[in-house]
Amino acid sequence: MFIPLHDANSLRHIKRQYVTLALIALNVIAYLATTVAGEDFAFAAALGLGYIPSVSNDLAMLPPELDWVPEPLTYITYSFLHGDLMHLGGNMLFLWVFGDNVEDALGHFRYLIFYLACAVAGAYMHGFIAPDSNAPLIGASGAVAGIVAAYLILHPRVKIWVLAFARIPLRIPAFIVLALWIGFQFLMLFIDTENQVSWAAHAGGIVAGAILVVLLRRRDVPLFDRRVEAPEAVVLEKPDMGKPMEGDQPRWGRQ
């Protein structure tokens, strides 16, 4: 529907979005590493590092050779794997456009906690909706959905450049694009039960992001683009005391 391209929203508290850049780099490196190693290795990585609801809910077990990390860690490791270049590119584009301002509002460390918590929430919601699924969940969509929700709460009035229907450039307020995107995720959660996209993971990330941005943001960061109003300045005029009398003039003399 809409492809975000750019937002003219400068950073106010940090010099550079180091965590966002590091997350993008880790996702790209993970994709390249699994792709270069071959299709068989990529499939094994999806099973060994992806989130599998049936395994998490003790309804199935992985073969020992695929038991790469402790099961609780897969709530996070799944979010650094992607199935193809389009999957990776879409998530990284959203992370690039919206992640820097969320990082600016939260600070580097709390933003990292926020990102990982949204990824966990996405996996949890996916497992709640499909508890007996044997298919591995991979992709940063849950974490990115949390960033989209946070951006909507922080900066709904900021205008962003998007490609509408992948071909028409438009500059429109963020709340139009992001509210439609979020609404679409929840709509598809209820009507699309056959698609390979985990709309539940998106929904879990959205809910987590909307809650956590309120709790983790800097104290001086307002919500919904509200301005921080400074107290009105008061100009004090020097009262007119009249001309000084002769006796008020300083007198110099010997003491």
Residue 19 structure tokens: 């965590």
* Position 228 pLDDT exceeds 60: no
Instruction: Report the C-alpha dihedral over residues 67, 70, 73, 79, rounded to 10 degrees.
Output: 0
Tell me whether residue 144 is in a domain. yes
Output the pTM of the full model: 0.86
- CA nearest neighbour of 150 among 215, 75, 92, 88: 215
Residue 164 lies in a domain: yes
Residue 95 located in a structural domain: yes
| Confidence tier at 193 by pLDDT (50, 70, 90) | confident
**117-145 mean pLDDT:** 96
Whole-angstrom Cα distance, residue 185 to residue 242? 74
Structural domain count of the chain: 1
Output the average pLDDT for the chain: 88
Residue 229 lies in a domain: no
**75-107 per-position pLDDT tens digit:** 999 999 999 999 999 999 999 999 999 999 999
Find the mean pLDDT for residues 55-83: 94
Within a domain: 8: yes
Coil, strand or helix at 85: helix
Domain-embedded: residue 252: no
Decide if pLDDT at 248 tops 50: no
pLDDT class of 167 with cuts at 50, 70, 90:
confident
- The answer to whether residue 255 scores a pLDDT higher than 50 is no
pLDDT band at 227; cut points 50, 70, 90: low
From 46-50, 90-94, 198-202, 247-251, the region with the lowest mean pLDDT: 247-251
The pLDDT of 189-202, averaged and rounded, is 87
Report the CATH number at residue 164: 1.20.1540.10
Residue-number span of the structural domain to which 206 is assigned = 2-216
Q: Is the pLDDT of residue 238 over 50?
A: no
Query: Does residue 239 sit within a domain?
Result: no
Residue 1, pLDDT > 90, answer no
Question: What is the tens place of the pLDDT at every residue in 18-45?
Answer: 999 999 999 999 999 998 888 899 999 9
Q: Is the pLDDT of residue 232 over 50?
A: no
| Segments in the chain forming alpha helices (H) | 18-36, 39-49, 53-56, 74-77, 85-106, 108-129, 141-154, 174-191, 199-216
